[in-house]
Chains A and B, each alone.
Chain A
């Protein structure tokens, strides 16, 4: 009994002791890791800091070089286009400034006509392309329309299989589109990939809007231009830009279908000028290389000017299709 009592008596003490121990232990545990943490923490931070610094410096240096690699050729072309004499070696500033190169392009009908053609076909091609892509994309979204899947397969087949360069050429010949600048518009007027992008975008418009409009007695065409198009300005901008870039930059269609200079676009003219050295003689005393470089600048200028402001749209155009299921 006594033993038990003793035990009972001592037990609380022991308990207290252990409790104290625990608290102490806890305290020490709390402080010790702090100490432990503190000491090596400073070290790791310092170590990391120096590592980060070295890594960052190298990283930034590499990317500065990378941007220079991209910018220098473009800058060199711009600089040379203002230089009256042929530029030798690695000079990045015009030593005899002139606007003669540009004046030549704007006043020589042989060069100005293709530039004008480029503008006309780009605008027309973009409008036609957007019209087809939006109409097609809108109709393909009507899931309760009989024959919808037939129509989408009808379009998808053209992505997988094509007649090829020569049969296409023979058909265009029959249609009277050979040596006719409108071939550029028609060739890019339909792009199934862009149509699918457009369709994916339209799918994001809430169905309740369509239903509400339908109840109000809107015809499909009215819904299309009163609700769908105003809600898709961003998609129209990105996909329109994709069309515009494609038509403006198209060189191979002209190379295949167009033979006369009057119908060519500027890309073709530039190529003929630089590669074949076929330059017109003008009153402006500029060297050949000045004219070539001014030509290159004219060919890239419209998009270079729009690019910083529209970059968002250029990039979303790609991602619209990539993200959406």
Chain B
């Protein structure tokens, strides 16, 4: 890349000529440019509404009052705390299980079995959250067709059906388990890419030194993954505030206190209230975007520090 840049700098042709020579490329970029301008940059102008009251036809300046009322609102802080807890626990849990699975799957001797397991565990990733939520809502239902409750009753483990998705105690664990089911398999893809890059010489050398299998896993495979694990965590930490769909498809008004996240809070305040103040919800969204942006830049910086290139 630097080579090409130097070529540009030493290019003797005048700027106008170079622009004219590349006119075909500008023309090709034009659709992308217009599209991005409308779909991404135009909405950014709407951020000004965070300083306005925007109720129906009534739009007037209000200054920073939305932010004041936002920080006073306990419901907002609940949502903010839930966002951090849910996203971070989900991230750590999914990464941890994905690492364990990829290390042990890597030890599998039969190539066919390995491929088969990979094919199967990637599968749930391609289902939408709406589908996964529908599947598990049916399974966990308290009606007579709810498989899990009925089976547990049959085995005599429980007396009465447990309402998994409506219990404030159980909602979060159930949420994590469902997400593990959906995303862990896919999470192993990146670790496998790393594992296939480990030189077999290392394992041979360890064999000659008489290392056991577990020792090889502990001293060769795991350290090789360490860098990738850090990168995965960094990449995802930038997105912790964006969580919307996974929560939205599973939550309900009986478990708001443990499941409401910032995005669902914004959604509810806008689309489920009779006369929404777009200004207030824009302000909440702006707060989320700014914190998200800072997280993104921080993780970009960390990524540059660790692996020499940024994430963006």
Contacts and interface: CB of A to CB of B under 8 A. Distances in A.
A261 interface: no
B261 interface: no
11 contacts: A67-B116, A136-B32, A138-B28, A145-B18, A161-B44, A164-B288, A165-B263, A167-B44, A167-B47, A268-B130, A303-B127
Interface string A161-173: 1111111111100
B49 interface: yes
Contact of B107 (A55, A160, A271, A318): A55
Given A151-B29, A158-B36, A158-B40, 12 more contacts: A63-B113, A70-B123, A90-B151, A154-B36, A160-B293, A161-B289, A162-B44, A164-B47, A252-B245, A256-B267, A304-B126, A322-B190
Interface in B1-58: 1, 4-5, 7-8, 11, 15, 18-19, 22, 24-29, 31-33, 35-36, 38-47, 49
A299 B22 contact: no
B129 A162 contact: no
A132 B145 contact: no
A6 interface: no
Interface in A204-252: 219-221, 224, 245, 248-252
Contacts of A267: 128, 130-131
B161 interface: no
Contacts of A97: none
A260 interface: no
Contact of A170 (B40, B154, B278): B278
Contacts of A9: none
Contacts of A163: 40, 42-47, 285, 289
Contacts of A146: 15, 18-19, 22
A77 interface: yes
A73 B281 CA distance: 38
A314 interface: yes
A164 B282 contact: yes
Contacts of B278: 166, 170
Interface stretch (B74-82, B135-143, B219-227): B135-143
A189 B296 CA distance: 23
Interface in B108-134: 108-109, 113, 116-117, 119-124, 126-131, 133-134
Interface stretch (A27-35, A100-108, A289-297): A289-297
Contacts of A314: 122, 126
Contact of A89 (B33, B126, B151, B248): B151
A160 B289 CA distance: 9
B210 interface: yes
B32 A145 contact: no
A323 B126 CA distance: 22
Interface of B: 1, 4-5, 7-8, 11, 15, 18-19, 22, 24-29, 31-33, 35-36, 38-47, 49, 101, 104-105, 107-109, 113, 116-117, 119-124, 126-131, 133-139, 144-145, 147, 150-151, 154, 181, 185, 189-190, 193, 210, 212-214, 244-245, 248-249, 263, 266-267, 270-271, 278, 281-282, 285-286, 288-289, 293, 296-297, 309, 312
A23 interface: no
Nearest to B3: A143
A281 interface: no
A251 B249 contact: yes
A139 interface: yes
Nearest to A133: B32
Nearest to A315: B189
B8 A249 contact: no
A161 B290 CA distance: 8
B233 to A, nearest CB: 15
Q: Which of A89, A186, A248 has the most chain B CB atoms closer than 10 A to its own CB?
A: A89
B105 A63 contact: yes
A47 B61 CA distance: 79
A164 to B, nearest CB: 3
B148 to A, nearest CB: 9
B47 A289 contact: no
